Chain A
Amino acid sequence: MKAIGQMPRPKSGSTFELLSWFYMRVSGLLMALMITFHLLWMHLIVGLDNINFSVVADRWMYPITGTLWRVFDLLLLIFAVTHGMNGIRFSIEDYVHNRSWQLFLKTAVAILLLFLLFIGSYIVFVFEV
């Protein structure tokens, strides 16, 4: 394994890492509020034992509130998946120094990101009771 001090410096000339750093803060701040709302709603208003098909279906069913819930859920999905998978990428870069393994794991995370966004947004857009 290569020692950390011998790792190549990140390629300069790309703003990707800067944007990634900034995006983690913007999405993180928004999610801190959205997920606090989500958890207080599910645990205090709905109650864990009451969660079932009807709870999810009813929320998405009504004309205006249904659309608002779907927009909220879609935004939360996009923020959570991109923020979470980018965080996993940070962890891979921190702990996996073998180039081949790193490429393999980061590719797997990228595929997982697309897969989760696909099945998650499919439900938000397509679901009908």
Chain B
Amino acid sequence: MTVISSTKDFVVRTATYKGGVGHASWILHRLGGIGIAVFLILHIIDIFMIVLGKEMFDFFLFIYHQPIFRPAIWGLMFGIFYHAVNGVRIIIHDFFPSTFRYQREMVLGAWVIIGILVVLTVGMDIFNWITYAGSH
């Protein structure tokens, strides 16, 4: 059994481990999951702000409307759709182990679905952003 002895060893092993497509998926799933959990905390707190009333709630929304939040939200869209679709793939593998033979094909299929969902949401955001900005 492999013994990982230090943080540096862990990082080196993670970066050089020849686990292929399953390993890369696992890293993205973990990173995305942690990122989503952080946003979830923020999101529950911002919805809670509604107790302060219309003026305060709409005022606090200016934080999300900062330009820097645009790419952050698009990154979030990718992170969430990745975690969701890759998660469904993992569930299929778990409950139907014979599908592991088609892991590579299913990862490819997952990326196609993720791509469509990200293009739909982010594309609409960009479209609205351009038309909205143009109306002022």
Contact = CB atoms under 8 A, between A and B. Distances in A.
Interface string B1-23: 11111110000000000000000
B44 A116 contact: yes
Contact of B58 (A39, A52, A80, A123): A52
Nearest to B52: A53
A68 interface: no
A1 B80 CA distance: 33
A47 interface: yes
A6 B4 CA distance: 10
A13 to B, nearest CB: 23
- Chain A contact residues (Cβ within 8 angstroms of B): what range? 35 or more
B80 A39 contact: yes
B68 interface: no
Nearest to A3: B3
A114 interface: no
Interface residues of B, number: 46
Contact of A36 (B45, B65, B84): B84
Given A49-B132, A53-B58, A40 B50 contact: no
25 contacts: A5-B3, A29-B87, A36-B81, A36-B84, A39-B80, A40-B117, A40-B120, A40-B121, A48-B125, A49-B65, A49-B129, A51-B61, A52-B61, A53-B53, A57-B50, A57-B54, A81-B44, A84-B33, A84-B36, A84-B37, A116-B41, A116-B44, A119-B44, A123-B47, A123-B50
Interface of B: 1-7, 30, 33-34, 36-37, 40-41, 44-45, 47-48, 50-51, 53-54, 57-58, 61, 64-65, 73, 77, 80-81, 84-85, 87-88, 91, 94-95, 117, 120-121, 124-125, 128-129, 132
